[in-house]
Structure 1
């Protein structure tokens, strides 16, 4: 049964802060980056470091061979209500040529000042003719996640980019809902993107296979359990 979608309109004006700096230096065959903004995304765009606190930063060290290691702290735990988080990663990224490349790696998410267990994520990505495909397997403290991602950037009809993400979540402990339990669920999203007069326009549809009272068990990637349509406009001034 089709679930009625809701429409959310979001207008964003992005002002890069003066503190968002990246320091880069070559050390022989290595490239070192230090900064308060993430220096890379992983699995060809599937895994993207984010910032959840006012103070964040990290380092990234990559070799000419394609090997890279790094750490990213999305929150330094300085502001009230935010805990220190350290994401350590290692990976290997290599293009075969200008049209084909691959990437594999692993991330460990650690919370040194709280009792939250560490979690790990394995990821892999493939670039083919300008399009990107990725897969990620993660073990969060409360569930196991398997995610597939596709960004069809190599084929953009009418200049519209298309990207899709589908995730299966397996709960470690079934969640009680009205009339029973939920032990697993799926969610997905589709994004259409197009630049227009210096503004990046995104139209995003997200949904899950849960509905009604079962949505009390939802804890996936989307902002809500039911179908949602979001229109996002973003412009960088410099």
Structure 2
């Protein structure tokens, strides 16, 4: 049995000289947002990869009728050990009232500085009384991924937001590990508690997969690590 590993990480995000994660402007019937985190609720929770570098951010443009488009860069590729990554998306969201709504969309993943095919995903979900539930299907020649997501909102006793993510991956080509056996599919999941504190975003994350030992050589999933890990993040944005 693998013991959970406790990881401590702190990230400093640099942009303009305002202390916030997002700049928002109203331009006629359009709403423009510029920020260091993805602004789309379903896109962010379901399929947008987490930030992988000290410099990341994106923009979002939406219309009053519910249509929107945008682009988010999990990594700007400014450090020697990183490369530029771009997630471009478009979609539609509609709220029947303050308690019920839905959202659907399409996202395109690309790494312009690397050769190889791009990948696409479709996503959708509903929001009910402040909670969000959704799913996504990402079509990649090397890894076809189905994801389920639930954001239950703020837990009253802990005063923290609680999110759950579960994904199933089917490899395009089975991966042969050291003992000669093959891995053709695997699943992974994560549980996250998050809350702001004195201008700092605190996140406690537990992640795991059904792979272990040499099977982890085949892992390329939604988590940073294959086996059981507990991660604590303290992130302050200077924006």
SS at match of 2:153: coil
The offset of 1:163, in angstroms, is 1.4
Partner of 1:69: 69
Task: Return the alpha-carbon distance in structure 2 between the equivalents of residues 81 and 139 of structure 1.
Answer: 27
Judge conservation of contact 1:38–1:49 (CA < 8 Å) in 2: no
Point out where structure 2 has 5 or more consecutive residues left out of the alignment: none
1:10 corresponds to? 8
RMSD: 3.1
Q: Distance in 2 between the 1:9 and 1:78 partners?
A: 24
Cα distance in 1 between the residues matched to 2:160 and 2:76: 38
Displacement after TM superposition at 1:61 (Å): 1.9
- Count of aligned positions: 234
Structure 1, unaligned runs of 5 or more: none
Whole-Å Cα distance in 1 between the matches of residues 17 and 140 of structure 2?
Answer: 29
Q: Deviations over 1:25-70 (max 9, x none)?
A: 444322234x463561341633346555676554422110110012
Equivalent residue, structure 1, for 2:119: 119
In 2 relative to 1, CA 86–196 (structure 1 residues): closer, same or farther, beyond 3 Å? closer
Inter-partner Cα distance in structure 2 for 1:19 and 1:126: 34
TM-score, normalised with respect to structure 1: 0.81
Change (3 A) 1:74 1:27: same
Tell me how far apart the structure 2 counterparts of residues 5 and 188 of structure 1 sit (CA, whole Å). 16
Higher Cα radius of gyration? 1
Equivalent pair of 2:159/2:195 in contact (CA under 8 Å): yes
* Aligned equivalents of 1:189, 1:106: Cα separation in 2: 23
* Corresponding residue number in structure 2 for 1:152: 152
**2:12 touches 2:54 (CA, 8 Å); kept in 1?**
no
Cα pair distance change 1:112/1:27, threshold 3 Å: same
After TM superposition, give the deviation of residue 107 of structure 1 in Å: 0.6
Q: Please report how far the alpha carbon of residue 89 of structure 1 lies from its aligned counterpart in structure 2 after TM superposition.
A: 1.1
- 8 Å CA contact 1:202–1:232 kept in 2: the answer is yes
| Counterpart in the other structure of 2:42 | 43
Match of 1:157, SS state, is: coil
The answer to whether the Cα contact below 8 Å between 1:42 and 1:48 also exists between their aligned partners in 2 is no
- Paired position in structure 2 for 1:100: 100
Q: Which whole-Å CA distance do the structure 1 matches of 2:35 and 2:88 have between them?
A: 15
Q: Which residue of 2 aligns with 1:176?
A: 176
Contact 2:23 2:35 in 1 (8 A): no
Q: Tell me the distance in 2 between the aligned counterparts of 1:65 and 1:78.
A: 37
Aligned partners of 1:193 and 1:53: how far apart in 2?
20
CA distance in 2, matches of 1:31, 1:235: 25
Contact 2:188–2:208 (8 Å) recurs in 1:
yes
TM-score by length of 2: 0.81
Partner of 2:230: 229
More contact order relative to length (CA 8 Å, sep ≥ 6): 2
Q: 1:198 to 1:113 in 2, by over 3 A?
A: closer
- Cα distance between partner residues in 1 of 2:218 and 2:128: 37
Kindly indicate whether residue 203 of structure 2 is the aligned counterpart of residue 202 of structure 1: yes
C-alpha spacing 1:229/1:36, structure 2 compared with 1 (3 Å): closer
